[in-house]
Amino acid sequence: MRAARLIKMVLLLQTRASMTAAELARELEVSERTITRDAQALSEAGIPVYADRGRAGGYRLVGGYRTRLTGLARSEAEALFLSGVPGALRDMGLQDTASAARLKVSAALRPSVRDASRTAAQRFHLDAPAWFSEPRTPELLPAVAEAVWDDRPVVARYRRAASEVERTLEPYGLVLKAGLWYLCARVSGTEAFRVYRIDRFTAVTPGPERFRREEGFDLPGFWAERAEEFARSVLRSEISVRLSPDGVRQLPHVLDPATAKGALGTSGVPDEQGWVTVTLPVETEEVARAQLRGLGPEVEVLAPASLRERCARDAARSAALYR
């Protein structure tokens, strides 16, 4: 642990011209007294760390010293490619690995471009979860992420309806979708790949041996295919509605935008008032009823009759409230 901290300290000083004890303590998450001891240990080991005294003082490397400890380990190289999603790195327990990788890359760069990571971070930040939702990191995510990185099978217990199921899985990849973490895995002993919500796992036990990963596995392609299948499986019913021009514009805001676009693409010719008839795929009548409330008087349900009657009763109750 101390050796890793000393290396990180040298890389920090190589990347920046000078750093105060307070700045180093903050970066390395230790006390200033520990920084003083570490600087002395580095000097005794032959690394020319010099301490400038006074208010403007700090620690620096002298004599143009440059460490050769800039080679990336495999885990650091992998984490580096995820540096644009700091929240995901933190959730998976990889923030320290990514930090070390960024330091090594910065130390190997020319002085004129060493601040590239800082300037890039000032210009782009990814905030994946939707508005008005509080993302929660699943407790078992770091254990699952470690198994994914090491290609180790896991015995996982997860909640399914009112019961718990146990499976031995070969974890291939993780997906963060709208603040929720999913595991794409193959069930051991089969060719079946499945998707699991990690917050439904109740126990994860990694195996001692590594599994042989299918080299051609395409995680983005697999996820896109399964997401499309999921969307089709959820939208099991159809309803027919009339939409005003305002209703047409608002429809993508109350339904899934892709579903709304597809439905509007098959709509008929507008009538004299500009209203169009559209067939909408929906999960259930109850879900459709809740979604269509957002359109108010800009939509009229035509079929099925049961949904039309329920919407008519809702409209009558609303009208009575505003008399």
From 42, 35, 27, select the one nearest 58 (Cα to Cα). Answer: 35
Q: Is the pLDDT of residue 14 over 80?
A: no
Percent of the chain with pLDDT over 90: 33
Report the pLDDT value the prediction gives residue 259, as an integer from 0 to 100.
Answer: 84
- Return the pLDDT at 67: 62
Considering only 15-19, 120-124, 189-193, which range has the smallest mean pLDDT? 120-124
Q: What is the pTM of this model?
A: 0.57
Q: What angle do CA 256, 259, 262 make, to 5 degrees?
A: 150
Query: At a CB cut-off of 8 Å and minimum separation 6, what does 219 contact?
Result: 172, 173, 175, 184
Map tokens 């885990």 to a residue: 75
Angle between helices 245-254 and 257-264 (to 10 degrees): 150
Contact yes or no for 268/277 (Cβ under 8 A): yes
pLDDT digits (tens, 9 = 90+) for 131-162: 767 777 889 999 999 999 899 999 999 998 78
Burial grade of 108 (CB within 10 A; 0-12, 13-18, 19 or more) = middle
252 vs 63 pLDDT, higher one: 252
Q: Considering all CA atoms of the chain, what is the largest pairwise distance in Å, rounded to the nearest integer? A: 89
Give CA–CA dist 19/22, Å, rounded: 8
32-37 own/partner pairs: CB under 8 Å, 24+ apart: 35/9, 35/59
Token couple for 97:
């690995």
